[in-house]
Amino acid sequence: MTTHPVRRATATVVAMLAALLTLLALSPAARAAAPPDPNAIVSAWKASPVYAGPGVSLSSSQLSDIRDAVKGANSKIYVAALADGTVTDSASAGHLITALGQALSQQGRPRATVAILDGNTLFAGSSAIRKTGLAGQLANAATSNNKDVVTGMKDFVERVDKAVSGDTKGALKSGSAASSGGGGGVLIGILVLALVGGLGIFWYSRKKKRDREAQEARELAAVKQTVEEDVTKFGEEITALDLDVKVSDNQAQTQTDWQQALDAYERAKNELAAVKRTDELRGVTTALEEGRYALACVKARVNNEALPERRAPCFFNPQHGPSVRDVLWAPPNGAPRDVPACAADAQRVEQGFDPHMREVMVDGQRRPYWDAGPAYAPYASGYYGGFGGGDLMTGMLIGTMLGSSFGGFGHGWGGGGYDAGYAAGAESAGGGDWGGGGGDFGGGGDWGGGGDFGGGDFGGGGDW
pLDDT in tens, 43-59: 899 889 999 988 888 88
Round the CA-based radius of gyration of the chain to a whole number and report it: 29
pLDDT, residue 156, reads: 93
pLDDT, residue 294, reads: 93
> What's the mean pLDDT in 97-110?
86
> What's the mean pLDDT in 402-422?
35
Pair 373, 362: CB distance under 8 Å: yes
pLDDT, residue 354, reads: 92
Regarding beta strands 325-329 and 121-126, do their DSSP bridges make them parallel or antiparallel, or are they unpaired? unpaired
pLDDT, residue 40, reads: 87
Q: Map residue 186 onto helix, strand or coil.
A: coil
DSSP 136: H
Pair 196, 189: CB distance under 8 Å: no
> What's the mean pLDDT in 288-292?
95
Helix axes 377-384, 281-302, angle to 10 degrees: 40
CA distance 459 to 461: 6
pLDDT, residue 349, reads: 94
**Which residue, 440, 371, 434, is CA-closest to 94?**
434
H or E segment to which residue 457 belongs: strand 454-457
More confident site: 50 or 387: 50
Full 3-state SS string of 291-342: HHHHHHHHHHHHCCCCCCCCCCECCCCHHHCECCEEEEECCCCCCCEEEEEC
CA distance 313 to 326: 11
Lowest pLDDT segment from 49-53, 84-88, 342-346, 349-353: 84-88
Q: How confident is the model at residue 424 (pLDDT cuts 50, 70, 90)?
A: very low
CA distance 140 to 133: 11
Q: Does residue 113 register a pLDDT over 60?
A: yes
**Which residue, 305, 339, 337, is CA-closest to 325?**
339
Pair 374, 405: CB distance under 8 Å: yes
Question: In the predicted model, what is the mean pLDDT of the chain?
Answer: 76
Express each pLDDT in 123-170 by its tens digit.
Answer: 999 988 877 788 888 898 888 888 889 999 999 999 999 988 888 888
Exposed, middle or buried, 221 (CB in 10 Å: 0-12/13-18/19+)? exposed
pLDDT, residue 346, reads: 96
HSE-CB at 322 with a 13 A cutoff on CA atoms is 19
Q: Which residues contact 414 (CB under 8 A, 6 or more apart)?
A: 390, 391, 392, 394, 395, 398
Q: Does residue 441 register a pLDDT over 50?
A: no
Most confident of 239-253, 275-289, 428-442: 275-289
**Does CATH place domain 38-177+447-461 in 3.10.310?**
yes
More confident site: 390 or 350: 350
Task: Kindly tell me the number of DSSP H helices and DSSP E strands found in the chain.
Answer: 15, 9
Most confident of 299-303, 322-326, 368-372, 411-415: 322-326
pLDDT, residue 175, reads: 77
pLDDT, residue 404, reads: 52
The percentage of the chain sitting over the pLDDT mark of 70, rounded to a whole number, equals 71
Q: How confident is the model at residue 351 (pLDDT cuts 50, 70, 90)?
A: very high
pLDDT, residue 173, reads: 86
DSSP 355: P
Q: How confident is the model at residue 66 (pLDDT cuts 50, 70, 90)?
A: very high
Q: Which residues contact 13 (CB under 8 A, 6 or more apart)?
A: none
> What's the mean pLDDT in 341-368?
91
Regarding beta strands 113-118 and 77-82, do their DSSP bridges make them parallel or antiparallel, or are they unpaired? parallel
Q: Map residue 377 onto helix, strand or coil.
A: helix
CA distance 124 to 452: 9
More confident site: 308 or 30: 308
Q: Does residue 414 register a pLDDT over 90?
A: no
> What's the mean pLDDT in 56-68?
90
> What's the mean pLDDT in 210-229?
84
**Alpha carbon 368 to its chain's center:** 18
Q: Map residue 122 onto helix, strand or coil.
A: strand
More confident site: 433 or 263: 263
CA distance 157 to 117: 13
pLDDT, residue 461, reads: 36
Q: Helix, strand, coil % (nearest 5) of the chain?
A: 50, 10, 40
Q: Does residue 32 register a pLDDT over 60?
A: no
Q: Does residue 177 register a pLDDT over 90?
A: no
> What's the mean pLDDT in 416-440?
29
> What's the mean pLDDT in 407-424?
29
CA distance 366 to 362: 6
CA distance 25 to 27: 6
pLDDT, residue 411, reads: 28
Q: How confident is the model at residue 359 (pLDDT cuts 50, 70, 90)?
A: very high
> What's the mean pLDDT in 455-464?
47
Lowest pLDDT segment from 144-158, 189-203, 265-279, 415-429: 415-429
Q: Does residue 447 register a pLDDT over 50?
A: no
Lowest pLDDT segment from 11-20, 140-149, 325-334: 11-20
pLDDT, residue 448, reads: 35
Q: How confident is the model at residue 31 (pLDDT cuts 50, 70, 90)?
A: very low
Domain range annotation of the chain = 1-29, 38-177+447-461, 217-422
CA distance 336 to 226: 27
> What's the mean pLDDT in 207-222?
79
